[in-house]
Structure formats: structure tokens, C-alpha cells
Structure 1
Amino acid sequence: MKATAAIVRNVGGRFSVEEIEVAEPRGSEVRVKIAGVGMCHTDLVARDGFPVPLPIVLGHEGSGVIEAVGPDVSGLSVGDHVVLSFNSCAACPTCEEDLPAYCHNFLAQNFAGVRLDDGSSPLSQDGSVIHGSFFGQSSFGSYAIANQRNTVKVDKDLPIEILGPLGCGIQTGAGAAILSLGLKAGQSLAIFGGGAVGLSALLGARAVDAGTVIVVEPNAARGALALELGATHVIDPGATENVLDTIKELSGGGVNHALDTTGIPDVVAVAVETTIAHGTVGLIAVPPPEAMLPANMMSMLVRGTIIKYITEGDADPQTFIPQMIAWYRAGKFPFDRLVKIFPFDQINEAAKASEDGSAIKPVLTF
């Protein structure tokens, strides 16, 4: 069937909104009419050179309504409202341990741009291949082909057009705080970076009744929003002489956990030193390729510091997306405060807003 999609044809090029053809779903695939799709940093990284085949339709925070299902689909039906997340193989050791974010085939499942069974793409244009299957969905389009593995059914009374970011960016931040770090009620947390992932970690911390939560963020508007969302303190690193000393003073000697969402080695170096004995430091952002971990080993030894790199918040979308929605319904997880809506044909404007910080989580709607 015909669909409108945003195609990346050249590394670093603009998203080009064009008409494409979308194949019928087969096997365990579903075809979803996209209502909304979030713009994530990973989309921009792929646009700007992370190795994916071109031309390609990106997008991996889609949500919408199932319009067709393949013959092997179970548990999903036409008319279901769904959120799309990352893909995984369901068969490797980590998938069998309910850790799909660490699927042994994660890169191929999410970045190959084709179906792995035969190398085909569900997308085309005038007989020419347009690569799809990005994160098992390629949802920068009016229709997407996903797999039942990365499709999560949600209630129909929810605002379906804004739910897509629960499948990646918001899941990553909230999951990092709750699942990866194991943040418990009353414990303290320092979050470095107040973008979509950092503020989602804040939302997760508040959902589980964490204690002191400090957000380090130079953008004044984001800092103000962090306070509104429940941050105990916000530190502007540009206006603070010593961020480490300030965090220790505000937290009574240090925090239980720290989370870096910047990928900046100098920031990570501070984060590692903020935790008390047996504290955990979570790292999320993609660092520069040549970056090394800037940590004092003796300091870590004395404190028994745990450092963990995190993918997708260690979440299983099939269970964690419903959990976030339950918190949202209970008024404990207002992720909608992070969203700024753009019409789909303004995808390049949404990308720019994501890059310059004027939007925390752009969501494109049809």
C-alpha cells in the first residue's frame, strides 16, 4: 500500500518526505498506521553517519493502530492500539533471561535495515529498495511494518499519538533509574543532563518515591522543568564553581546512585566521584569513539563503586511500557510534560529543535 515517509538518502542529509510502498505483513509481522512518532537522538546519529544502509526510513518511537497482521501473529489483532519499541531475537541467552536490550543480535535486529531472514525490506519506491526495519519498525512514516516481538498493546482510551517515546527514550531514562540502578524509595540520585532521557530518569525516580534527586543541567528552562517534575535540586554547571562538592553538600556526603546522560568524559569523571560506598554509576549516552573511562581506580576501590553501561534502560518493553502507563494513569509519571508536537511534514524542524534543545521530546503526528 502507499504511505508517506521521511527518507534519508545521504549521510547528514535532510529528511525527505516522499511517497513509498509498504508491503503486506508476513509471518509474525504487523502493519501499524502510525499516529505519532518521537524524534530520538539515535535517529539523528543514524542520519549523520552511524552505519545503516541508505536510502532508509528511520524512526523508532512509533505508536498507532494495527491495520493488518501476518499469519503467524498471536496476541495482537487488527484495531489494537500499540506502542512500538526496539527489536530482539527472542532466542539468544539474554533474550531468554528477559533481557532483550542485550540481545546477542541487537545491532543486526535494529540497524541492518532489512529483514534478517532473507535480506528483504518491507519498503520500496517505484520498484527500488528503500531500507526499513529500523529498530524493527521504521516509523517515520504513515505506516510501519513491525514484529509482534517489539509491539506492545495498550488501552484504547490513552492518547495514542504521544505514547511512542515510551518505546525508547522515556523507557531508557526511567528504566535506567529503576531497573539498571535499582533505585529504591528514599535513595538519592544525581542525574547529569536534563534532556529527554535525564528527565525521564527523574520521572522514574519520583514514581518509585526516591529521596534526594539532583539534576545537573545548564539549560535554565530545562532546569526549571526538572524542579516542577520533582527534582530536589538543580545545579547549573556553568554557574557552579565545583559541581562535585555541591552535590556532596546537597546530599549529605554523596548520593546512592548517579546517572550520566551526556557521554562527556569530563562529566562522567564527576559522576563517578559523587556516589557513597557501594554506589552505582549508570552511563547511557553514546561517547566519542576514542573516549576512555575517566575514573580514579583507587577511589573506586575504596568505595566499591559499580559502573554500568546501560542499553534501553535494561527494560523488557512488554512489561515496562505497561508499568510506565500505570504510573501515568496514577498521576506519578507525567511524561507528556516532555513532549512538543510537530506535524509530520515538519520533521526537519523537529530534528533541529531536538538538536538545539528547544524541544525536549519532539513528537511527529499525522
Structure 2
Amino acid sequence: MQIKAAVTQALGHDFEWQAVELAEPALGEIRVRIVATGVCHTDAVARDLGIAPFPIVLGHEGAGVVEALGEGVTGLEVGDHVVLSFGHCGGCGHCLTGHPTVCDTFNALNFGGAMDDGSHRLARDGEALATFFGQSSFATHAVVSARNAVKVDPEVDLALLGPLGCGIQTGAGTVLNRLKPEFGSSLVVYGCGAVGLSAIMAARIAGCRHIIAVDVHDSRLELARELGATHAINGQQEDTIERVREITGGGSQFAVETTGVPVVVRQSLQALKPLGVSAIVGVTPEVTLDVHHDLMAEGKSMIGVIEGDSVPRVFIPQLVAYFKEGRFPFDRLVKFYAPEQINEAFEDSKNGTTVKPVLKIAD
């Protein structure tokens, strides 16, 4: 069928809405009418750094309605509301033990540009277009593996839910699934974008005593306080390490580092108390560490966490339930954009004007 999709032709090119062809869903796949899709930093990385092949249709925080089922699909029906998340094989050791975020074929399925069987579902004028994260949700419709689709509560506004598939899942899951802070513990979040603010809301759910937000924008820090941060530090105006130690009485037990800025990565380690853990979730370049003083001498840990170490079909409905209870108000992060405003949405995300842009594709 013919659909509209935002095509990225080559490295660094703007998104351009064009008519493309979408194939019918194959074995184990579904077709989804996209209602809305989040704009994520990972899409910008793919556009600007070439981590996936071109030409490509990006987008990986889609939410929509199931329109068609391929052969062999169970557990989903036409008309179901779904959130689309990352690709995973479902059969490797990591998938089978509850860690699909480190699936043996994660990179191939999400960044390789093709479906599970190596074929393509998108084409333009007879030329195959690469798929992103197994979904390519910057489009009016998407064909995805049924494994990537999470059935969600139809009572909740579907247009809000796409970011749960990646950015918001990453922040909240890093806290609730991986760090699992004890009640009354201390946690610092470095960077108050969508991922960081989701981590702050999750830390409040977990019952952390000290929830410290670190950023360089006072508006973000104010929002962080409204969403659950007990303290806020402007990293350009204060000594972050000393302030964390002062607030916590010697250092935090946990940290979530979202910025990917090398100096901040080191701060996240240096502000930990002995045996503390810093979770790195941002795309981070080379970092120089004094391994003895920054890490080993006080028994600290630095871990990488992908997609919040989540099982999306379990975790995303939990987040929706927290949202309905008023305990996870992620809608405070969202600003809607029309499809033709896609390039503006990316610019607003980059300059910090909007925390989480969402393209509203259809009603």
C-alpha cells in the first residue's frame, strides 16, 4: 500500500515527507496505523552519524492501532492500541532470560536497516528504504514484528504513549529495573531531558530519600523539582560534586548519567559514596578515567544500561498504570507537533525548547 513517510536521504539531510510503498506484513508481523511518534536523540544520531544505512525512514517511538495481522500472530487483534519498542529476536539466551535489550542480534535488528529475515518492507520508486528499530515510525503506517508491539490500555490517550517505547522507558527502567534503589537511598540524575526526568519520576516511585537533579538550565531544574527531585544543582553555577556530598552526607548511592559529556560522566562517579553505582545511558564518547581514584579504590561500579533493561511487554503497561494513578506524569514532558514540523521538532529538542517532542500523525 502507498503511505507517507519522512525519508532521510543521506547523512545529515533533513527529513522529507514523501510517498513510499509499504509491503504487507509477513509471518509474525503486523501493520500499524501510526497515531503519534516521539522524537528521540537516537534518531538525530542516526541522521547525523550514520549508524544505520541510507536512505532510511527513521522513528522508533511509535504508537498506533493494529490494522492487519500477518500469519502466525497471536496475542494481538485488529483494533488493539499498541506502543512500538525495540527489535529483539526473542530466542537467544538474553531474550529468554528477560534481557532483550542486550539481544544477541540487537544491533542488526535495530540499526541494520532490514527486517528479521533480511528483507525490506519500505520502498520508493522501486528502491528499498532502510527500516529503523524494526519500525520506522516517522510514517503514517508501519509494518513491525509482533514481538516489538506492546498492547496498551485503550482508555489512555494513545498519542502520548509512543515515548514509552524508548526514551521514557530508558530513564524509568534504569532506575526500577537495573539500579533498584532501596527505600530511603540517594540517587543523582545528570541531565534533565526526557530520559533524566523519567528517571527522577521513577526514583520517587522507588521511595528514594534524596533525588538530586543536575542540569545547566534552570527551567529544566524547576520541572525536575515539580516531578519529584528533592534537590536541584545547576552544574554551571555550583560545584556539583561538593553539593552532592553535602546533600547526601558523603555521596550518593546511585547515579543515572544521561548527558554523554565526559566531564559529567566523571562527576557521576566522583560524587558517589563507596560502593556506589553510576548507570551510563547516554551516547558517550571516549572518557579518560583515573581508574584507581574514580572507581576501584572505593569499590564503585560504572554500568551501561540499554533501554532501561526492560521487557517492554511487562514494563510499558506498568508505566501506563503508574501514569493513570498520577504517579508517573510523563505527559508533562510532551509537546505535540504536526508531521510537517518534524525538522522544527528536532531543532527544538536539540536546543532544549521542548523536552519531548511528539509528532501527532493522525487522530
Give the match for residue 351 of structure 2. 356
Give the match for residue 108 of structure 1. 108
Question: Distance in 1 between the 2:253 and 2:203 partners?
Answer: 12
Deviations 1:97-153 (A, max 9, x none): 110000011100101111231x32101122221222x11110000001111111000
Give the match for residue 338 of structure 1. 333
1:185 and 2:183 aligned = yes
Q: Is the 8 A contact 2:120 2:130 kept in 1?
A: yes
Give the match for residue 317 of structure 2. 322
Question: Distance in 2 between the 1:365 and 1:171 partners?
Answer: 20
Deviations 1:221-257 (A, max 9, x none): 11110011111111011111x2101110011211110
Letter in 1 for 2:274: A
Give the match for residue 300 of structure 1. 295
Question: Distance in 2 between the 1:295 and 1:346 partners?
Answer: 45
Give the match for residue 125 of structure 1. 124
1:210 and 2:205 aligned = no
Q: Helix, strand or coil: the match of 1:280?
A: strand
Unpaired runs of 5+ in structure 2?
A: none
Give the match for residue 97 of structure 2. 97
Letter in 1 for 2:169: Q
* Deviation of 1:332 (Å): 0.5
1:73-92 to 2 correspondences below 5 Å? 73-92=73-92
TM-score by length of structure 1 reads 0.96
Q: Is the 8 A contact 1:66 1:79 kept in 2?
A: yes
Q: Is the 8 A contact 1:272 1:295 kept in 2?
A: no
* Deviation of 1:299 (Å): 5.0
1:1-366 to 2 correspondences below 5 Å? 1-117=1-117, 119-132=118-131, 134-240=132-238, 242-288=239-285, 291-366=286-361
Letter in 2 for 1:250: I
Of 71-80 and 184-193, more deviation after overlay is shown by 184-193
Question: Distance in 1 between the 2:99 and 2:288 partners?
Answer: 25
Q: Is the 8 A contact 1:7 1:58 kept in 2?
A: yes
Q: Helix, strand or coil: the match of 2:52?
A: coil
Q: Helix, strand or coil: the match of 2:7?
A: strand
Letter in 2 for 1:313: G
Letter in 1 for 2:304: Y
Question: Distance in 2 between the 1:91 and 1:115 partners?
Answer: 16
Q: Helix, strand or coil: the match of 1:308?
A: strand
Letter in 2 for 1:307: M
Question: Distance in 2 between the 1:253 and 1:292 partners?
Answer: 24
TM-score by length of structure 2 reads 0.97
Deviations 1:178-222 (A, max 9, x none): 212122221110111011111110011112222110011011111
Structure 1 residue ranges, 4+ long, deviating more than 3 angstroms after superposition:
none
Q: Is the 8 A contact 1:85 1:317 kept in 2?
A: yes
Q: Is the 8 A contact 1:11 1:48 kept in 2?
A: yes
Q: Aligned residues: percent identity?
A: 45
Q: Helix, strand or coil: the match of 1:300?
A: helix
Q: Is the 8 A contact 2:36 2:358 kept in 1?
A: yes
Q: Helix, strand or coil: the match of 1:270?
A: helix
Q: Is the 8 A contact 1:269 1:295 kept in 2?
A: no
Deviations 1:231-287 (A, max 9, x none): 1111011111x2101110011211110111111111111110112222111111111
Of 249-258 and 76-85, more deviation after overlay is shown by 249-258
Alignment coverage as a number of residue pairs: 361
Q: Helix, strand or coil: the match of 2:265?
A: helix
Letter in 2 for 1:362: P
Q: Is the 8 A contact 2:99 2:309 kept in 1?
A: yes
Question: Distance in 2 between the 1:298 and 1:219 partners?
Answer: 30
Question: Distance in 1 between the 2:188 and 2:8 partners?
Answer: 37
CA RMSD, Structure 1 to Structure 2 (Å): 1.1
Q: Helix, strand or coil: the match of 1:278?
A: strand
Question: Residues 224 and 52 of structure 1: is their aligned pair in 2 closer, same or farther, counting only changes over 3 Å?
Answer: same
* Deviation of 1:296 (Å): 3.8
